[in-house]
Structures are given as structure tokens and as C-alpha cells.
Amino acid sequence: MENHSNFLYPRSRYYGKFTPENLVFNANLQEFAHKVNYLCALEMNGKIAPEVAYEDIKALWEQLKQSKKELGIGEQPPASES
């Protein structure tokens, strides 16, 4: 079963600056990309309407933005007192 999961949901290694937050966000970003890929394939093959695909992708984007905000990705770290 694990091989099946790895095939359908492959994960790429993270090469960026390591912090727990960056690692979690990278996993969320990869999941977002996989889901968008599936939605695009479904829409291109006529399985879902373009409007449905758009709304689903928009909802996924909002989830990713919320994840970024909660993890503090891109924010300036607090200045340390010397």
C-alpha cells in the first residue's frame, strides 16, 4: 500500500533553508500542486466543469495562503537584542 501511495503522491526532497516551518510549508505546497494537477486533469477530460475546477483551485489557494500566514513564512524574524 505504501508503494501505491508513493506513486500517487510522490514527495520531493526539500533543499531550502531548513526550519520546521519551511519544511511543513513545503509539504503543504507539494500537496497543493498535486491537487491542482488532478483538478486540471479532471477539467481537461470533461469530468468537472471549468467553474468547479476554478472554485476548487481558489479554495486550495486560500488554504495555502492561510498555512503560509500561520507558519510565519516570509515574515521578518524579530530583531534580537544585543
Quote the pTM value.
0.78
**What is the spatial distance between Cα 23 and Cα 30, in angstroms, rounded to a whole number?**
11
Name residues of the chain where pLDDT drops below 70: 1-11, 77-82
Please identify which residue in the block is written with the cell numbers 498535486. 34
- With beta carbons less than 8 A apart as the criterion, state whether 50 and 75 touch: no
Query: What's the pLDDT score for residue 81?
Result: 55
**What is the spatial distance between Cα 54 and Cα 49, in angstroms, rounded to a whole number?**
9
Give the three-state DSSP class for 45: coil
Give the phi and the psi of residue 45 in degrees, each rounded to 5.
-95, 10
